């Protein structure tokens, strides 16, 4: 089977309020970063022809939000498609462009400025049905709290364990130059931080974040023109669960298990525990780290809490970036996960570099309480 190479990634440093830059300016920074790393260009002869962007109309406060950024994507007079989902799905789309033979080089970039809107909860409230969901104030935070409660019930996850996840995330974030929340905290700080929506506390939730990420993908034949150190995208899978919360078993990980199953099958992974040694999960809330780990097959059903206590996160190099808990915007949460996996596999992660990593998995989720999941497998 043909392989797709990640030639380079570029991450904009995340912050809770990048007030001095338009999101266009942030995208231009990552574009120039990729150009610098790879010599990527857009000239008619041999330049990039296909661009995949990822952004959200509500966060950007305009419809067909990609229209506003085509110039800073290099997409002028080129083919450009927008992924109106978390950006990791744009990687899947770019893979299909290359694997189908439609094109051999694709530039992928995603952005989101959560700070631009008055409230990100108001933005995610708009993803719910206007008659039933919006009316009762559903948004990603309070819906996640329903799932947190269900998962705590199922796995026995405690306040202490959730606090441990946050404390560890901040420790790793401090070593990641692109992370937002790097201030060190102790268990008590987390356990007594103000309640947002029971059982989710302020410090269990990822901070409001602005960011942008870019990838350059190429076919196996073309990759060497851009890099001597490619990382291979060998698996992709996604799965959508029901829109109506009442139709879902919130603690079941149904969509994630399916998405992971598809990605692992494509990559030829039979047992994630044995064959994968780096994991990046999109843990928007602390309870999600053990829950998503479970869905990805690194521990048995309902054993996520035990996984935390038994130092599973260190054993499997979980979220050495600091994860979502250290602050990436929601529409690019998965792109940041995959970008971290790429630099780890390339051996370019600097202060937080893991040793001996050969195969990684990156996961993202869109929709409240993990309605939709996306999983990619990356290899050295």
Partner 1 sequence: MAQYFGTAVEDIFNTMEERFLPEGTVDVDVTIGYNISGEGGGHWKVTIKEGTLKTEDMDGEVTDCTAVLNANAETFVGVTLGKIDAGEAFSSGSIKVDGDLTVLIAVLPKAFRPFKPVVKASSIVESVEERFRPEKAEGVDIKIGYDLSGDGGGQWTVVVKDQTCALKDVLDDDCTVVMRMEAQVFVDLNQGKLDGATAFTSGQVKIDGDIGAAGKSSSLFEKYVAEGAVEEQGEELISLKCVPSINQRYATGPLMGTWFNGLKEKKFYAAKCPECGRTLVPPREICAQCRVRCNELVEVGPDAMVTLIDVVYYASPDPLTGKIRETPYTALFMVLDGASRDESFAHDLNPRDIDRIKPGMKVRPVWSEKRTGSYKDLLYFEIAD
28 in contact with partner 1 (CB under 8 A): yes
DSSP characters over 210-262: EEEEEEEEEEHHHHTTT-SS-EEEEEEEEEE--SSGGGS-TTS-HHHHHHHHH
137 in contact with partner 1 (CB under 8 A): no
Tokens standing for residue 348:
């370019």
202-231 positions binding partner 1, by CB under 8 A: none
Nearest approach in angstroms of CB 32 to partner 1 is 7
72-111 positions binding partner 1, by CB under 8 A: 72, 74, 76-77
Out of 1, 131, 247, 356, point to the residue binding partner 1 (CB under 8 A). Answer: 131
239-278 positions binding partner 1, by CB under 8 A: none
Out of 2, 25, 221, 249, point to the residue binding partner 1 (CB under 8 A). Answer: 25
16 in contact with partner 1 (CB under 8 A): no
Which stretch in 13-21, 92-100, 178-186, 330-338 sits in contact with partner 1 by CB under 8 A?
A: 13-21
List the one residue out of 240, 177, 165 whose CA is nearest residue 206: 165
24 in contact with partner 1 (CB under 8 A): yes
45 in contact with partner 1 (CB under 8 A): no
Closest CB to partner 1 among residues 82, 154: 82
21 in contact with partner 1 (CB under 8 A): yes
Cβ-in-10-Å burial (0-12, 13-18, 19+) of 159 comes to middle
Which stretch in 17-25, 98-106, 217-225, 364-372 sits in contact with partner 1 by CB under 8 A?
A: 17-25
- The answer to whether the CB of 353 falls within 8 A of the CB of 177 is no
What count of other Cβ atoms lies within 10 Å of the Cβ of residue 360? 26
Task: For 363, list phi and psi in degrees, rounded to 5.
Answer: -130, 145
Cβ-in-10-Å burial (0-12, 13-18, 19+) of 187 comes to middle
353 in contact with partner 1 (CB under 8 A): no
58 in contact with partner 1 (CB under 8 A): yes
| CA 67 vs CA 53, 80, 110, 216, 280: distances in Å | 10, 10, 13, 21, 31
Number of residues that bind partner 1 (CB under 8 A): 31
Out of 37, 115, 171, 353, point to the residue binding partner 1 (CB under 8 A). Answer: 115
Distance CA 42, CA 45 (A): 8
Distance CA 344, CA 175 (A): 13
132 in contact with partner 1 (CB under 8 A): no
Nearest approach in angstroms of CB 68 to partner 1 is 10
Which stretch in 12-20, 95-103, 246-254, 257-265 sits in contact with partner 1 by CB under 8 A?
A: 12-20
Cβ-in-10-Å burial (0-12, 13-18, 19+) of 274 comes to exposed
- For partner 1, the binding residues (CB under 8 A) are 18-25, 28, 32, 41-42, 58, 61, 70-72, 74, 76-77, 113, 115-119, 122-123, 126, 130-131
């Amino acid at each position: 089977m043909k392989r797709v190479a990640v030639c380079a990634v570029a991450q904009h440093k995340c912050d809770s309020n990048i007030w001095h830059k338009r999101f266009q300016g942030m995208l231009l920074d990552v574009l120039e970063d990729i150009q610098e790393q790879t010599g990527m260009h857009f000239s008619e002869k041999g330049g990039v022809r296909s661009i995949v962007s990822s952004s959200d109309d509500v966060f950007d406060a305009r419809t067909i939000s990609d229209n506003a950024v085509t110039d800073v994507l290099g997409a002028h007079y080129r083919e450009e498609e927008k992924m109106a989902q978390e950006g990791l799905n744009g990687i899947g789309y770019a893979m299909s462009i290359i694997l189908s033979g439609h094109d051999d080089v694709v530039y992928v970039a995603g952005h989101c400025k959560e700070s631009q809107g008055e409230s990100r909860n108001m933005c995610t409230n708009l993803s719910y049905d206007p008659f039933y969901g919006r009316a009762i104030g559903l948004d990603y935070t309070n819906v996640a709290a329903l799932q947190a409660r269900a998962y705590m019930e199922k796995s026995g996850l405690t306040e202490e364990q959730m606090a441990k996840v946050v404390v560890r995330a901040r420790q790793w974030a401090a070593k990641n130059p692109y992370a937002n929340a790097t201030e060190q905290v102790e268990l008590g700080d987390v356990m007594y931080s103000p309640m947002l929506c029971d059982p989710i506390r302020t410090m269990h939730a990822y901070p409001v974040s602005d960011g942008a990420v870019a990838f350059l993908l190429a076919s196996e034949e073309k990759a060497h023109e851009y890099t001597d150190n490619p990382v291979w995208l060998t698996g992709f899978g996604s799965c959508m669960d029901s829109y109506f919360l009442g139709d879902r078993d919130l603690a079941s990980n149904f969509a994630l298990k399916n998405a992971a199953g598809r990605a692992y099958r494509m990559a030829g992974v039979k047992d994630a525990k044995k064959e994968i040694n780096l994991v990046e999960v999109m843990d928007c809330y602390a309870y999600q780290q053990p829950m998503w780990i479970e869905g990805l097959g690194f521990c048995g059903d309902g054993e996520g809490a035990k996984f935390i206590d038994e130092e599973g996160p260190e054993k499997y190099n979980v979220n050495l970036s600091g994860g979502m808990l250290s602050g990436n915007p929601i529409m690019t949460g998965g792109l940041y996960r995959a970008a971290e996996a790429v630099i780890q596999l390339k051996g370019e992660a600097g202060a937080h570099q893991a040793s001996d990593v050969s195969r990684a998995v990156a996961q993202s989720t869109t929709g409240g309480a993990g309605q939709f999941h996306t999983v990619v497998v990356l290899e050295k």
